[in-house]
């Protein structure tokens, strides 16, 4: 289908690498906000966000939508519970799983940080690209992920 000559690949024109660099910047920025607003690390923040935005998720659910493995989620949940931001309720039908939800305090911290992150990201968009175009780009991004997935779990 394509007989285009293989282009010379360097880090700065290899999109997967650029995506990694970008994500690293996003993570560092996020971490700085999270640290300024609460005593949490990035993993804990991600788990709290996943639970707060949709109460009732189990650890496995959180693992599925997150770039963390179950080890990290398990530890993050423990510390969030200890910190009083999350509570765990063992499922009555299946004693292996527990549904997680944020306490009032957890919800409040989540809402506060989410608002700050959202504001920063939104403002970074203004004047560069329309929200519609950006949404379109995001869809492409997501599709990429699906395409790449088969390579990922060999």
What does the binding site for a copy of itself look like in residue numbers (CB under 8 A)? Answer: 1-2, 4, 6, 9-16, 18-30, 32, 46, 49-50, 53-54, 65-67, 114, 117-118, 120-121, 123-126, 128-129, 131, 134-135, 137-138, 140-145, 147-149, 151-152, 154
Cβ at position 99, least distance to a copy of itself in Å: 18
Cβ at position 23, least distance to a copy of itself in Å: 3
Q: Cα separation of 67 and 70, whole Å? A: 10
Among 19, 60, 111, 120, which residue interacts with DNA (rule: CB under 7 A)?
Answer: 60
Q: Cα separation of 58 and 77, whole Å? A: 10
Q: Is 38 in the site for DNA (CB under 7 A)?
A: no
Rounded to 5 degrees, what angle do the CA atoms 72, 64, 111 make? 75
Beta bridge partners of 99: 89
Q: How do 98-102 and 86-90 pair as beta strands?
A: antiparallel
């Amino acid at each position: 289908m394509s007989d285009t000559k293989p282009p010379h690949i360097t880090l700065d024109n290899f999109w997967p690498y650029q995506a990694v660099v970008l994500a690293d910047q996003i993570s560092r920025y996020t971490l700085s906000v999270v640290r300024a607003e609460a005593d949490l690390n990035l993993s804990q923040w991600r788990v709290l966000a996943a639970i707060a935005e949709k109460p009732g998720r189990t650890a496995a659910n959180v693992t599925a939508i997150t770039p963390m493995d179950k080890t990290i989620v398990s530890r993050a949940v423990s510390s969030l519970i200890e910190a009083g931001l999350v509570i765990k309720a063992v499922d009555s039908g299946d004693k292996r799983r527990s549904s997680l939800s944020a306490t009032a305090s957890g919800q409040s911290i989540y809402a506060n940080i989410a608002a700050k992150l959202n504001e920063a990201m939104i403002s970074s968009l203004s004047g560069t690209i329309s929200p519609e175009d950006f949404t379109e780009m995001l869809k492409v991004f997501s599709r990429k992920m699906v395409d790449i997935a088969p390579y990922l779990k060999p």
